[in-house]
């Protein structure tokens, strides 16, 4: 839900510089000024999202995250509306990605888990659920989970520009792409606890997809093994958020304490709150699953309050057609957020980490 962008920073000290006469000393001073200007421009370009940080073999792949989020929130997907062909296209696309990563089905021997909701009884819709095997190929024992919802608002009333497609870039194409990045990293470096990936449908329709999944008679076989479920549905700040709310961390549980310690290792702070019915993970909490739903706060590294407010105004368009991919959006905040999510999953999946 929260994204941001930095305004262009000028360099008044550079503009005020007085160049001495052309001597050796003067030329050196000029070179220093030009070098400083170049560094400043590079830094600004990175913050404006001129290019996503280059991926590493095992680190966050922000280029892949951006590409996937852009695809899932494109006009072709028509806002991933409930009970639409495009919604099913997205579900099948996500299932194909999980299959490519080696995920195995948990329900009915397929990654696409069909259900019918009372609100649309004539139409079958799909949750996407799979488990990435742990070290040694096992999918038994205790589980770690991470989820983002796949639906959005579809096509609706046009805004002032005439745009009527509610693309849902922040809500929640970008979170889905970050979840896939975590799944990719886990597939390359498995832990001792298998990782469940869930893309639940009809979240925007009163959490109907999560409700349908939990009402299945075979759901307890998975739910009772989940030691931690992370919900990703709060966008991604353009800058590095320095404070986070951990919804679901009260009453406290080992997963919450783990996330807090890993945040503090980055110089961040967290505030714990109880689960609220604003996300699919709330229903899992009601079924006894320890959950985390990170929400970035208002303090961002390198941003003044005014710059953050401008950033929010420019990019955070919750439930509006203007919530769409923009070329100038910087992904530095996404990189730090996605990497934190990975470290939580990586640590929680280690048998040496007690989650009881």
Domain ranges of the chain: 10-47, 58-348
Average pLDDT, the chain: 87
Average pLDDT over residues 26-31: 42
HSE value, Cβ hemisphere, 13 Å, CA-based, for 94: 36
**What is the per-residue pLDDT across 124-138, written as a single tens digit (0 to 9) for each?**
999 999 999 999 999
Q: Which two tokens stand for residue 272?
A: 């714990």
* Integer Cα distance of 187 and 103 in angstroms: 9
What's the confidence (pLDDT) of residue 54?
A: 54
164, 158 contact by CB (below 8 A): yes
Alpha helices in 203-331 (DSSP H): 208-214, 220-223, 254-264, 281-286, 305-315
Q: For 72-231, where are the E strands, in sequence order?
A: 104-105, 112-115, 125-132, 143-149, 154-155, 165-166, 195-200, 226-231
**Which residues lie across from 296 on neighbouring strands?**
244
d(CA 259, CA 255): 6
Q: What per-residue confidence (pLDDT) applies to 330?
A: 85
More confident residue, 84 or 120: 84
Fold annotation for 58-348: Aminopeptidase (3.40.630)
pLDDT tens digits, 194-247: 999 999 999 999 999 999 999 999 999 999 999 999 999 977 788 899 999 999
The answer to whether 146 touches 197, Cβ cutoff 8 Å, is yes
What tokens were used for 314? 């420019």
User: CB of 264 within 8 A of CB of 238?
Assistant: no
What pLDDT is attached to residue 356?
86
The pLDDT score that the predictor gives to residue 53 is: 55
Mean pLDDT value across residues 71-83: 98
Q: Are 49 and 335 in contact (CB under 8 A)?
A: no
Give me the helices (H) in the chain, please: 12-15, 24-47, 62-72, 85-100, 174-188, 208-214, 220-223, 254-264, 281-286, 305-315, 332-348
Residue 68 has pLDDT above 90, yes or no: yes
DSSP 268-282: -EEEEEE--TTSTHH
Tell me the whole-structure pTM to 2 decimals: 0.85
DSSP code of residue 106: S
| pLDDT at site 149 | 98
pLDDT at residue 58, as a whole number: 56
Provide the pLDDT for residue 36. 41
20 or 245, which is more confident: 245
């Amino acid at each position: 839900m929260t994204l941001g962008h930095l305004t262009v920073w000028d360099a008044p000290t550079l503009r005020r510089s007085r160049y001495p006469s052309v001597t050796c000393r003067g030329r050196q001073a000029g070179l220093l000024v030009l070098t400083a200007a170049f560094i400043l421009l590079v830094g600004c370009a990175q913050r404006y999202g001129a290019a996503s940080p280059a991926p590493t073999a095992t680190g966050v792949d922000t280029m892949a995250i951006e590409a996937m989020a852009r695809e899932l929130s494109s006009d072709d997907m028509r806002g991933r509306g409930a009970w639409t062909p495009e919604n099913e296209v997205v579900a099948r696309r996500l299932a194909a990605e999980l299959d490519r990563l080696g995920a195995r089905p948990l329900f009915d021997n397929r990654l696409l888990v069909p259900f019918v909701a009372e609100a649309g009884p004539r139409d079958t819709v799909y949750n996407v659920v799979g488990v990435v095997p742990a070290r040694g190929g096992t999918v038994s024992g205790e589980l770690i989970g991470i989820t983002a919802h796949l639906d959005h608002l579809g096509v609706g009333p046009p805004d002032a520009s005439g745009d009527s497609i509610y693309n849902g870039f922040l809500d929640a194409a970008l979170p889905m792409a970050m979840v896939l990045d975590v799944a990719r990293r886990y597939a390359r470096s498995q832990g001792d606890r298998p990782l469940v990936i869930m893309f639940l449908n009809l979240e925007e329709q009163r959490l109907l997809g999560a409700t349908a999944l939990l009402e299945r008679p075979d759901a307890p076989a998975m739910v009772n093994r989940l030691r931690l479920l992370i919900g990703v549905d709060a966008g991604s700040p353009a800058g590095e958020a320095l404070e986070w709310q951990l919804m679901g961390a009260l009453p406290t549980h080992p997963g919450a304490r783990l996330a807090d310690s890993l945040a503090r290792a980055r110089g961040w702070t967290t505030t714990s709150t109880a689960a609220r019915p604003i996300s699919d993970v709330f229903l899992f909490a009601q079924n006894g699953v320890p959950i985390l739903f990170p929400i970035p706060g208002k303090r961002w590294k390198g941003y003044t309050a005014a710059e953050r407010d401008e950033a929010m105004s420019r990019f955070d368009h919750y439930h509006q057609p203007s919530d769409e991919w923009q070329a100038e959006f910087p992904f530095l905040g996404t990189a730090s957020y996605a990497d934190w999510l990975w470290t939580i999953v990586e640590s929680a999946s280690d048998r040496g980490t007690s989650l009881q």
